[in-house]
Each structure stands twice: as C-alpha cells, then as structure tokens.
Chain A
Amino acid sequence: MNTQREIETEMTQDEREVSRLLGELRRFDAPANFEFGVKARIAAGKPATAAAASGVWLGYMKFVVPAFLLAALGGAMFFGGLAGDADVPAIAEQRVNPEAVEETLPEPVRDEASVAAVTDEPASAATETLPFREGLTPIPAFIATRPAERVVRPIVDTPVTAMPESAGGSVDRALSPAIEVNLPLAPVDYLKKYGIDAAVDGEVWRVASVAAGSPAAAAGLKSGDVIESIGGRKPATNPTFQHSSGPMALVLRDEGSFRIITID
C-alpha cells in the first residue's frame, strides 16, 4: 500500500525502535475453553454487560426506594402525630392541609386500586375518614394509618422462592401482582433459585448440595461438582445475576475437561 510505505519512512529512529519493541512482545492467545465460554453466554441468552447495566440501575433503586419510603413514613407520622395531638389544634389546623399531604405521598399509595390490591381491603375503606376532633381537617384513612408499611412489605420482602402453583402459589405474589422488583443477585443466591447450594472455592464454585426434584437435579448436577462459570461469568469478576426464570448455562469442570449444562 502506497500511503502505508510513505508513512513508515516518515518514522523517526526513536519511533521505529518503539514500534519494533512492541512488535516483539509475546502474544497472549485465547484459552482453550474460549469457545465454550462464548457458547455458554450465548446460551444464557443475552450479552452479560447488558444485564449488568440494568443491574446498576436496580442497584440505585435499592437505595432510592427505601429512602423514598422512609420519607413517606416520616411524613405520615409527622402529620399523623400533629393531627392526633389535642394540645396544638392551631398548628394542626394550619399544617394539615390535604393538598400538602397529598404531595408528600408516593404514587402507589394514592392509587386506591393498588392499595386495595395490596391490603386486600375493600376499596371503600380507603375513602373513609377517621373520627377527628371538630374543626380539624379530616384525613383520609389511608394516609393516617401509616401507608408506607403497606408498600414496604412487597418490595423488601420479595419472595425468594415462589410456591408452586399446585400448592396455591405464593401469597406474596398474589397480593402484589404489580410490584415485582427483580434485584440483582449474588451468584450463590442465584444458584439457590435453581435448587443449587454452592459456595465459592478459590476460582470456582463448589456444589454442596442439590435440592431433590429441582431443575438442577434433573439436569444431573450433584454435590461435589465444580462450577467453572455461570452464564460465562466467573467468581473472580464478582458477577451479579438477574433472575428471570429462564434457562441458566453452567460450565462444569470435570477432571480437566469441561461440559456445559443448561438448567431450565
């Protein structure tokens, strides 16, 4: 190529030496199991860093949601306390302005339908008012009874394992169909979802036990097995996972050879 040669002759002696030095560096090839890793990740269904990106977002949510709920709880207690305090009616009258109260409330609480769904109470309960002293602005029942508690439970208590539908399904899931936060999981917790009890052992995970009747047991995983990577991720990279009840690809190490199993 013409331009190429031109440029090379423009190089100073120093540049040429650096170039030669770099050209002589030892090359590092891909490991023998490289293709297995690629296939395992492809089997897992999506690029790993895309999942990690949503994990970052959910990571922030871990702080934002509780902080928001805490603020809501604090606000409710503050107004509830003032409204209930008989000694300071003047202040209470001044402060308990229904519009202001509404502004501090989180969206899901104001939505009567979702409150009804979460608490399993009739929707009319939300519109009832508490018997307050005359002269005070009445506060709707759903504000005065510490609404934050109702929202906290389904989010923080996201069920680790849902009961099978045959056993009636998970109560928590039934009550909170709309609020399902899928937080990123540590590998060990992620494996638990598939019935695998494992722990990090050096550069691999070692299986301690496999729940009988679980998908993992069905896939032939047994205690003592060495898991090389989960969906192409290794312990050293401190991966997190998103449980999506889809198939999971594991690479198992077995006396120097490797095999990939997919668990549904």
Chain B
Amino acid sequence: MAFDKIHRRSAEVYETPVPEKNLSDHELIAATKEGDETAFAEIVNRYRNPITNYLYRFLNDYEEAVDLAQETFVRVYFAIERYHTDYAFSTYIYRIATNLAISEVRKRKRRTLMSLTGLFQSDADDNTEYQPPDTRSLPDADLIDGERDTVIARAIGTLPPKYRVPIILRDIEGRSYEEIATIMELGLGTTKSRISRARGLLREKLKHYF
C-alpha cells in the first residue's frame, strides 16, 4: 500500500497559531528569513496541495509529483535569501515547480532513449502532437467518469511541455493569464495563444468525450 495515500491529518495542521494564518506570503517569507520555522511550515501548508496537484497533472505520476513537490519546497527554503518580492510568491513557487517538472521530463526522455521504442521514436514530446484521436467506442455509463479522468490525464500528458504547463495552470489550477505569462517568462499574447492551442489539441484528442 502506498504510504503516501494514507490520509492522516496531523494534529499540528490545526494547531498552527492563528497569527501565521493571517500573514501574507511575503510576511511569512520575511519571518522564515528570520529563522521562524512555523512560518515556513505555514508556507508549505498553503501551497503543498496546489503544487502537488499541478505536478501530478503535469507528470501523471503521483509518487513522482510528491517527490518533486517536496523538492520544490526544499529549493524555496534554501534559496529564501535570494527571494525578492518583485512578484507574487505563488508565481515564484510555480516557476520552481515547473522547472523541476520540465527537467524531470527531459530526464525521462533520456532514459527512454535507451529503450527499444526509443529507437523508433526519437522525440516523444514532439511527435505526440500528431497522435491520432482515441477512436474506441464509449464504455458503459458508470465506467465513464473514472475512465474519463484517466483518458484526460493521459491526453494532457501527451501535450508538449510548452502547451502542458500553461493549460494546467489556467484550466486546472485557475491561475490568471498574467501570472502564467510571468511563470513561463513569456509575453501575454504568446501565453494566451499557447493556452488556446493547447485546448484545441486536447479537443482533438478527446473528441469522444463531448
């Protein structure tokens, strides 16, 4: 049984003193710089679910997502001195998570190069755009929901990272276009068109679910 999936609420989540809850992200960072461990715990508490979900949707692998999400917070912790309040903390942490996720995907690609399938498909990410849509017939109604999620998750996973990042941030995480543009270090126009293109690609792949 995967130990990660035991949902045990630890008492300290509720016992965090009220003041921390009321502080802004920037105030928490400032407190963490001063050496306040509870302030950092509150940052983790605030962002662990969105970051885990974001990475899960990006990688389609829960264990890997939790691993990278933890790594994201470790990076934040060790780079806290270098953090500046130029933009929102959420932008900063999503950017770290995105960079980790993209390098993880590259690592996987390198690994698959050694496999036999790698011989026939040199660049998995770029080819997937031309993947034919899923033409299988619809399953029984009661199976649809569970399977639909799996199929959508898989379809997202086939998008190249440059489309996968913005569409997950927009449609799953609900971040604003402006924030996504900052996270990806792109212009607002480019970001919008990538999201639109990503939706179009998914629409093609998921034809049978509309």
Please report A residues at the B interface, Cβ cutoff 8 Å: 1, 3-4, 7, 11, 14-15, 17-19, 21-23, 25-35, 37-38, 41-42, 46-49, 203-204, 228, 232-234, 236-237, 253, 256
The one of B63, B77, B178, B209 that contacts A236, using a Cβ cutoff of 8 Å? B63
List, in ascending order, chain B residues with CB within 8 A of A38's CB.
44, 70, 73-74, 77
The answer to whether A33 and B4 touch (CB under 8 A), given A4-B177, A14-B199, is yes
Distance in angstroms between the alpha carbons of A233 and B64 in the assembled complex: 11
Residue with the highest number of chain B CB atoms closer than 10 Å, among A7, A18, A203: A18
Q: Are A25 and B57 touching (Cβ within 8 A)?
A: yes
The residue in chain B whose Cβ has the minimal distance to the Cβ of A49 is B71
Q: How far is the CB of B201 from chain A (nearest CB, A)?
A: 9
- List 12 contacting pairs A-B, 8 Å CB cutoff, sorted by A: A19-B199, A26-B149, A28-B57, A30-B69, A31-B3, A32-B8, A32-B10, A35-B48, A46-B78, A47-B75, A232-B70, A232-B74
The answer to whether A28 and B206 touch (CB under 8 A), given A38-B44, A47-B71, A48-B71, is no
Distance in angstroms between the alpha carbons of A182 and B75 in the assembled complex: 24
Q: Are A34 and B70 touching (Cβ within 8 A)?
A: yes
* Prevailing SS type, chain B contact patch: helix
The one of B44, B57, B74, B168 that contacts A48, using a Cβ cutoff of 8 Å? B74
The residue in chain A whose Cβ has the minimal distance to the Cβ of B12 is A35
Distance in angstroms between the alpha carbons of A237 and B170 in the assembled complex: 30
Interface residues on chain B, number (Cβ under 8 Å)? 58
List, in ascending order, chain A residues with CB within 8 A of B70's CB.
34, 37-38, 41, 232
Q: Are B202 and A18 touching (Cβ within 8 A)?
A: yes
The answer to whether A27 and B49 touch (CB under 8 A), given A14-B199, A32-B8, A203-B3, is yes
The one of A30, A41, A48 that contacts B66, using a Cβ cutoff of 8 Å? A30
Q: Are A228 and B3 touching (Cβ within 8 A)?
A: yes
Q: Are B200 and A33 touching (Cβ within 8 A)?
A: no
Distance in angstroms between the alpha carbons of A253 and B3 in the assembled complex: 9
Q: How far is the CB of B35 from chain A (nearest CB, A)?
A: 13
Distance in angstroms between the alpha carbons of A11 and B65 in the assembled complex: 30
- Can you add 16 more A-B contacts, CB < 8 Å, to A25-B152, A27-B49, A256-B6? A11-B196, A15-B200, A15-B203, A18-B202, A25-B153, A29-B52, A31-B4, A31-B66, A32-B7, A32-B8, A38-B44, A38-B73, A47-B75, A234-B63, A253-B3, A256-B8
